[in-house]
Amino acid sequence: MHFEHLTSIHKMLLVILGVLVFATVLFWIWKKIKPGAQVDELMTRTKSWWVMASIFAIAALVHPIISFVAFGFLSFAALRELSSISKNARIEDRSVIFWAYVAIPVQYFFAYMGWMLPFLIFIPVFMFTWIPFILVLKGHTQDIARSMSVIPTHLMLTVYSLSHLAYLLSLSIADGGRGLLLYVVFLTEMNDVFQFTWGKLLGRHKIIEKISPNKTWEGFIGGLLSTVLAAILLKFLTPFTTNEAIGAGLLIACTGFVGDIIVSAIKRDFGLKDTGTVIKGHGGILDRMDSLIISAPFFFYYVYLLHVVR
């Protein structure tokens, strides 16, 4: 089959496969020639990207219902991971967290149905009221303000934000949103790799040393420019013009960076290197999804405002 006869989804999957194979071989050769911590970190990130790429490639290819269920389980795992590492959780909070888990199928059902208004307000409005109310009914006010803040925030980071990836599949553009899903996931993950690589090669000036000492302005700018270039090259997956693709690349690079440092700050507060061990040797769900937590909703509304709301 000639390349021009392939669908945009299949073209993207071939691109992802090619990039992963190239990176795997390149870093393997690099390690043989000049072993060190830098190439070890790059190999670790590449191995974890193989896992994440497989998950999202399947989500883009299988029946939408299966994809929505899979995304729901992803949010469940992320919420469970974040809840398990939280410090000073009260005994009274344990039964309240149950309601956070109940919110997962409801939120993804709204996404599957394409019901925009319920999708938008269910967690930020209803659950942000319901959870504090249930905490009040428990009758224990010691540290209740902290619980009222922490549990809804966990819900926003792990369920509300990630559910925007699933909602892309309910859009009637870009091959049923599948192209957009692969586009934002691939660019977000590659931005992480680009920023890390440029930072190691050229990094001199720290951005937020107390939170993430490896983040540098050189790495951020190099990653941003590389991500913009990739966004233009891969715009065949989207309905974007070249200018819109440039905007998407800038947005994904900046918001991905924000998501990364937010999770880094959480881990530093808890005294952890990784949020979990679900991907053996490569950390937890949040370690691999940190950038997407912020880039996913921003990218979704960027697409929605440009190509859905006219």
Q: How far apart are CA 211 and CA 261, in angstroms?
A: 7
Q: Where are the alpha helices (H) located in 34-138, listed in sequence order? A: 37-61, 64-85, 93-113, 116-121, 128-138
Residue where the block lists tokens 């659950």: 127
**pLDDT surpassing 50 at residue 3:** no
Number of neighbouring beta carbons within 10 Å of residue 127: 23
Q: Residue 111's pLDDT is what?
A: 96
**pLDDT surpassing 60 at residue 14:** yes
Q: Where are the alpha helices (H) located in 203-241, listed in sequence order? A: 217-233
pLDDT tens track for 271-284: 877 666 665 555 67
Q: Residue 256's pLDDT is what?
A: 94
CB of 258 within 8 A of CB of 294? yes
Q: Residue 165's pLDDT is what?
A: 94
Q: Number of H helices and number of E strands within the chain?
A: 12, 0
Q: Residue 88's pLDDT is what?
A: 60
Q: Residue 87's pLDDT is what?
A: 67
Q: Residue 277's pLDDT is what?
A: 60
Nearest residue to 57 (alpha-carbon basis) of 186, 167, 245? 186
**pLDDT surpassing 80 at residue 46:** no
Q: pTM to 2 decimals?
A: 0.88
Q: Residue 2's pLDDT is what?
A: 47
pLDDT tens track for 95-113: 889 999 999 999 999 999 9
CA distances from 106 to 113, 118, 294 (A): 11, 10, 21
pLDDT tens track for 58-91: 777 777 888 899 899 999 999 998 888 876 667 7
Number of neighbouring beta carbons within 10 Å of residue 280: 8
Domain ranges of the chain: 1-29+38-61+178-310, 62-170
pLDDT tens track for 191-247: 988 888 888 888 888 998 888 888 899 999 999 999 999 999 999 889 999 999 999
Q: How far apart are CA 229 and CA 284, in angstroms?
A: 29
211 in helix, strand or coil? Answer: coil
Least confident window among 148-152, 228-232, 283-287 = 283-287
**pLDDT surpassing 80 at residue 128:** yes
CB of 167 within 8 A of CB of 174? no
Q: Residue 37's pLDDT is what?
A: 73
Highest mean pLDDT among 17-21, 200-204, 247-251: 247-251
Region 256-273: what's the mean pLDDT? Answer: 87
Query: At 178, is the pLDDT very low, low, confident or very high (cuts 50, 70, 90)?
Result: confident
